[in-house]
Amino acid sequence: MYLNPKYYKNPHEFNPDRFIGIEPQKNTLLMFGGGMRMCPGKKFALTEIRCLITLIFRSLDVSLVDANASVKLISTFMSACAELMVKINQREEQVASLFKLGG
Ligand code: HEM
């Protein structure tokens, strides 16, 4: 599907931006494919992504710039946050403890 120029222009070009602001045709944006050849690593990949996000956020202090600001959503085939102003600070003690693991 992703290599079909009918649905994706220059399909062999590495261009993650191709997905920004598009309204995909039905069944042309299946993250892990579908049917018999569906990605067998899906659950593993999602678990890894959750672990990675957890590790990143463990070392960061994230807070809203304006806790009263309304959430700006874009809703097409799925909903996404259009803008979310946050303050990000490094948590020094958390970073240090990460490097102590196993040592
Ligand atoms: C974010 C991570 C990943 C994404 C987005 C992804 C996506 C995909 C997609 C779109 C396909 C084609 C499915 C189709 O033809 O319908 C595929 C196939 C495949 N993926 Fe993944 N994948 C990911 C991670 C992984 C991981 C971690 C593994 C293995 C540990 C894996 C192993 C495979 C294999 C072996 C196939 C070929 C399946 C077949 O042709 O029968 N993938 N993947």
Each residue's pLDDT expressed in tens, for the chain with a length of 103 residues = 788 899 888 999 999 898 887 777 888 888 898 889 999 999 999 999 999 999 888 888 999 999 998 888 888 777 888 889 999 998 876 566 666 655 4
Are 43 and 92 contained in the same domain? yes
Are 51 and 96 contained in the same domain? yes
Are 1 and 47 contained in the same domain? no
How many A from CA of 82 to the centre of ligand 1?
Answer: 28
Domain region containing 4: 1-30
Ligand 1 residue neighbourhood (C-beta within 6 Å): 31-34, 37-41, 44-45
How many A from CA of 77 to the centre of ligand 1?
Answer: 22
The structural domain count of the chain equals 2
Backbone dihedral region for residue 67 (phi beyond 0: left; psi -120 to 50: alpha; all else: beta): alpha
Instruction: List the residue whose alpha carbon is closest to atom 29 of ligand 1.
Output: 41
How many A from CA of 72 to the centre of ligand 1?
Answer: 32
Rounded Cα gap, residues 56 and 51, in angstroms: 9
Are 48 and 15 contained in the same domain? no
pTM: 0.71
Are 47 and 87 contained in the same domain? yes
